[in-house]
Amino acid sequence: MKYTPNPNPVVDEMLQTMGLSSLSQLFSDIKPELQLDRELNIPGGCGEMELRSHLKELAARNRNTEDFPCFLGAGAYDHYIPAALEQLLLRSEFYTAYTPYQPEISQGILQSIFEYQTMICSLTGLDVSNASLYDGGSALAEACSLACVNSKGRRKVVIPDTVHPEYLQILKAYSLSGHMDIVVVPGRGGAADIEAMLAAIDDQTAGVVIQQPNFFGIIEDAASIEQAVHAHKGLLIMAVEPISLAVLKSPGEWGADIAVGEGQPLGLSLSMGGPYLGFMAARKALMRKIPGRIVGQTTDLDGKTAYVLTLQAREQHIRRELAASNICSNQALCALAASMYLTFVGPRGLKDVAVRCHQLALYARQALEKVGLHLKFEQPFFNEFAVSISNPSVANRRLLENGIIGGYELEDALLLAFTEKRTTAEIDRLAAVLGGK
Amino acid sequence: MNIPGDLLYTKDHDWIRVEGTKGHIGISDFAQAHLGDIVFVELPELDAQVEQGQAIGVIESVKAAATMFCPAGGTIVAVNEELEESPELLNEDCYANWIAVVELGDQTDLEKLMDPAAYTEYCRQAEAEE
Amino acid sequence: MNKLIFEKTISGSNAFSLPDFTSGQPDWETAIPAHLRRKDQPLLPDVSEVEAVRHFTELSTRAYGVDSGFYPLGSCTMKYNPKINEWAARLPGLAGLHPFQPEETMQGALQLYYEMQEMLAEITGMDSFTLQPAAGAHGEMAGVMIIKAYHQHRQDHKRTRMMVPDSAHGTNPATANVVGFDVIEVKSNSRGLVDLEDLRAKMSPEVAGLMLTNPNTLGLFEEDIKEIADIVHDQGGLLYYDGANLNGIMGVTRPGDMGFDVVHVNLHKTFSTPHGGGGPGAGPVGVKAPLADFLPVPVVARQGETYRFDYQRPLSIGKVKNYYGNFGVIVKAYTYIKALGGSGLKEACQHAVLNANYLRHKLRGTYHIPQDRLCKHEFVATSRNQTPQGVTTLDIAKRLIDYGYHPPTVYFPLIVHEAIMIEPTETESKQRLDDFTAAMQAIAQEAQDNPDLVIHAPHDAVIKRVDEVTAARKPVLKWEGR
Of A288, A319, A322, nearest to B40 by CB-CB distance is A288
Angle among Cα A240, A243, A248 to the nearest 5 degrees reads: 65
Same domain, C426 and C363: yes
Q: What's the CATH number where C100 sits?
A: 3.40.640.10
B60 inside 8 A of chain C by CB: yes
Residue B42, pLDDT above cutoff 90: yes
**CATH topology assigned to domain A346-435:** Aspartate Aminotransferase, domain 1 (3.90.1150)
Tell me the per-residue pLDDT of A362-413, one tens digit each, with 9 for 90 and over.
999 999 999 999 999 999 999 999 999 999 999 999 999 999 999 999 999 9
State residue C25's pLDDT score. Answer: 65
Residue A437, pLDDT above cutoff 60: no
Residue A104's φ and ψ, nearest 5 degrees, are -60, -25
> Do the domain assignments include residue C78?
no
Residue of A nearest to B60 (CA): A313
Same domain, C334 and C395: no
> Do the domain assignments include residue B2?
no
State residue C180's pLDDT score. Answer: 94
Tell me which amino acid residue C180 is: G
Residue C236, pLDDT above cutoff 90: yes
Mutate to test the interface with B, among A101, A149, A288 (most CBs of B within 10 A): A288
> Do the domain assignments include residue C474?
no
Tell me the per-residue pLDDT of C241-262, one tens digit each, with 9 for 90 and over.
999 999 999 999 999 999 999 9
Q: What's the CATH number where B70 sits?
A: 2.40.50.100
B: neighbours with 3+ CB pairs under 8 Å?
Answer: A, C
Q: Give residues 290 to 319 of A whose Cβ lies within 8 Å of C.
A: 293-302, 304-306, 308, 310-313, 315-319
State residue A327's pLDDT score. Answer: 87
Residue of B nearest to C470 (CA): B39
- Domain containing residue C164: 84-340
- Domain containing residue B17: 8-107+115-125
Going by pLDDT thresholds of 50, 70 and 90, the confidence category of residue A319 is confident
Q: What is the mean pLDDT of residues C418-444?
A: 98
Same domain, C325 and C369: no
Task: Please check whether residue B23 is in contact with residue B102, taking contact to mean a CB–CB distance below 8 angstroms.
Answer: yes
> Do the domain assignments include residue B19?
yes
> Do the domain assignments include residue B26?
yes
Same domain, C363 and C250: no
C56 inside 8 A of chain A by CB: yes
Residue A337, pLDDT above cutoff 60: yes
Same domain, C312 and C458: no
Signed CA dihedral, A375, A377, A382, A384: sign only: negative
Say if the Cβ atoms of C473 and B39 lie within 8 Å.
Answer: yes
Q: What is the mean pLDDT of residues A202-231?
A: 97
State residue A326's pLDDT score. Answer: 86
Tell me the per-residue pLDDT of C281-327, one tens digit each, with 9 for 90 and over.
999 999 999 999 999 999 999 999 999 999 999 999 999 999 999 99
Of C411, C468, C472, nearest to B40 by CB-CB distance is C472
C52 inside 8 A of chain A by CB: yes
Residue of A nearest to B66 (CA): A319
Say if the Cβ atoms of C417 and B62 lie within 8 Å.
Answer: no
Residue C482, pLDDT above cutoff 60: no
Tell me the per-residue pLDDT of C32-48, one tens digit each, with 9 for 90 and over.
899 999 988 899 999 99
Distance from CA of A347 to the nearest CA of C (A): 5
C: neighbours with 3+ CB pairs under 8 Å?
Answer: A, B
> Do the domain assignments include residue C68?
no
Of C31, C278, C376, nearest to A380 by CB-CB distance is C31
Which residues have C-beta within 8 Å of that of residue C69, sequence separation ≥ 6?
C404, C405, C406
State residue C24's pLDDT score. Answer: 62
The share of chain B scoring above pLDDT 90, in percent, equals 90
Tell me the per-residue pLDDT of C142-183, one tens digit each, with 9 for 90 and over.
999 999 999 999 999 999 999 999 999 988 999 999 999 999
Say if the Cβ atoms of A2 and C225 lie within 8 Å.
Answer: no
State residue A313's pLDDT score. Answer: 84
Closest CA to A251 of A228, A226, A269: A226
Say if the Cβ atoms of A318 and B63 lie within 8 Å.
Answer: yes
Same domain, C314 and C405: no
> Do the domain assignments include residue B1?
no
> How many domains does the structure of chain C reveal?
3
- Looking at C340, C362, C386, which one is the last position of a domain? C340
What are the sequence ranges of the domains in chain A?
Answer: 85-339, 346-435
How much is the mean pLDDT over chain A? 96
Residue C115, pLDDT above cutoff 90: yes
State residue A153's pLDDT score. Answer: 86
State residue A207's pLDDT score. Answer: 97
Residue C406, pLDDT above cutoff 60: yes
A379 inside 8 A of chain C by CB: no
The number of angstroms, rounded, from the C-alpha of C424 to the middle of its chain's C-alpha atoms is 16
Task: Please check whether residue C317 is in contact with residue A176, taking contact to mean a CB–CB distance below 8 angstroms.
Answer: yes
How much is the mean pLDDT over chain C? 96
More confident residue, B106 or C418: C418
> Do the domain assignments include residue C481?
no
> Do the domain assignments include residue C477?
no
C271 inside 8 A of chain A by CB: no
- Per CB-CB distance under 8 Å, the chain B contacts of A322 are 65, 67
Going by pLDDT thresholds of 50, 70 and 90, the confidence category of residue C26 is low
C102 inside 8 A of chain A by CB: yes
Tell me the per-residue pLDDT of C316-364, one tens digit each, with 9 for 90 and over.
999 999 999 999 999 999 999 999 999 999 999 999 999 999 999 999 9
CB pairs under 8 A between A and B: 21
Going by pLDDT thresholds of 50, 70 and 90, the confidence category of residue C23 is low
State residue C105's pLDDT score. Answer: 97
Distance from CA of A322 to the nearest CA of B (A): 9
Q: What is the mean pLDDT of residues C89-109?
A: 98
> Do the domain assignments include residue C231?
yes
> How many domains does the structure of chain B reveal?
1
Q: How far apart are CA B95 and CA A79, in angstroms?
A: 60
Same domain, C376 and C354: yes
Going by pLDDT thresholds of 50, 70 and 90, the confidence category of residue A152 is confident
State residue A320's pLDDT score. Answer: 86
Q: What is the 3-state secondary structure (H, E, C) of chain C?
A: CCCCHHHHCCCCCCCCCCCCCCCCCCCHHHHCCHHHECCCCCCCCCCCHHHHHHHHHHHHHCCCECCCCCCCECCCCCCCCCHHHHHHHCCHHHHCCCCCCCHHHCHHHHHHHHHHHHHHHHHHCCCEEECCCCCHHHHHHHHHHHHHHHHHHCCCCCCCEEEEECCCCCHHHHHHHHCCCEEEEECECCCCCECHHHHHHHCCCCEEEEEEECCCCCCCCCCCHHHHHHHHHHCCCEEEEEECCHHHCCCCECHHHHCCCEEEECCCCCCCCCCCCCCCCCCCEEECHHHHHHCCCCEEEEECCEEEEECCCCCCCCCCCCCCCCHHHHHHHHHHHHHHHHHHHHHHHHHHHHHHHHHHHHHECCEECCCCCCCCCCEEEECHHHHHHCCCHHHHHHHHHHCCCCCCEECCCCCCCCEEEECCCCCCCHHHHHHHHHHHHHHHHHHHHCHHHHHCCCCCCCCCCECHHHHHHCCCCCCCCC
Parallel, antiparallel, or unpaired: how do β-strands B38-42 and B14-19 relate? unpaired
Same domain, C384 and C292: no
B39 inside 8 A of chain C by CB: yes
C472 inside 8 A of chain B by CB: yes
Mutate to test the interface with B, among A312, A315, A320 (most CBs of B within 10 A): A312
**Within 10 Å of residue C175's Cβ, how many Cβ atoms?**
36
Which top CATH class is A85-339? alpha beta
- Per CB-CB distance under 8 Å, the chain B contacts of C472 are 39-40, 60-62
Going by pLDDT thresholds of 50, 70 and 90, the confidence category of residue A321 is confident
Going by pLDDT thresholds of 50, 70 and 90, the confidence category of residue C397 is very high
Same domain, C168 and C260: yes
Q: How far apart are CA C194 and CA A239, in angstroms?
A: 44
Q: What is the mean pLDDT of residues C423-450?
A: 98
Q: How far apart are CA C146 and CA C135, in angstroms?
A: 16
SS3 at position A277: coil
Distance from CA of A203 to the nearest CA of C (A): 23
